Structure 1
Amino acid sequence: FQEQLAAAEQRGEQRGEQRGEQRGEQRGRIAGIQQGIQQGIQQGIQQGIEQGIQQGIQQGIERGRREENRLILENLLQVRLGELDAKVALFIRPLSALSAADLTRLLVQLSALPVDENGVRLAQELLAEHVLRMYFESGDERLTNLVPSLLGLSVDDLEVLLSQLPELSVEELLGRL
């Protein structure tokens, strides 16, 4: 009987150890999984913050560049032509997105305009044509023919149309003008 009791105790101890090990391993796995999930969440948050900061910096730089371009264009036109009329002012904002090379070419063209009423008219035409060429195929001659119609719009209608240009095709623009 003593031998059976000792054997039963030994089996009980072994089973207890096995169960303890299994439970310990299971708890360890659960703790490891939880720790892994927590680390993954923290890494994801950190990456999101870093990407957000980088994207914010890039957007800020782009906004600053556009604002600087707008001021340069606006100042040149005011110096050359005096007070800017509402139509000229409407064309300045989209043109502020031009690349440095394209903006420089436009500034050179504007600086060559006469300083009189004819210069104001030519500036309006030049600005209108550049805005159209920003959004549409630059080789399309129909764009040049649209400039007088575009300039014939009221200030309110012109403002609406300029805001819609990025979504329009040339055919849709032709239909509206």
Structure 2
Amino acid sequence: MTRSIIINLLASVALLAGASPTLAEAGGAAPGFRPTLSVQTWDGQPFELAAHRGSWVVVNYWATWCAPCLKEMPDFSAFDQARDDVKVIGLAYEEIDSEDMRAFLARHPVSYPVSIVDLLHPPEDFEPPRGLPLTYLVAPDGRIARRFMGPITSEMIAETITRVGATLGAGGSP
């Protein structure tokens, strides 16, 4: 009995070692799936994912109370500014009004647009987060390239762009 428990435990560890907790394929998306995303930013500007075809788009779910999310924000902001081939959109996944968001962003400024997600009607083509942060990388052709669960860095995104871009033939070099 003890031997079978140990074997099952080792098999589970081996299975988990082969899976990355931060980087996963887009869940449930069929090959070639091109999501739509049409949101209004907290300050009233429209954001259309389709308008950014030809660029890599980082779709980042976050919240003001999420410490790992706050750590990602300056890194994503610098990445957004440094790369012409990358656009970032922040989706605040919480109940917060525009004035509170304005005050928050005054303390934590970012270079990219931020939208407040309606928790009852989140964007349909992106799986609602079960935890934060949750980040999608959309390829220049509009397909979801990767989904990252948990905190990530711009370096991880750049590595993914290089790797996935090479297979897509879509550029992808940093």
Band of TM-score, shorter chain: under 0.3
**Greater fraction of residues in strand:** 2
TM-score (ref. length: structure 1): 0.25
TM-score (ref. length: structure 2): 0.26
Bigger CA radius of gyration: 1
**Greater fraction of residues in helix:** 1
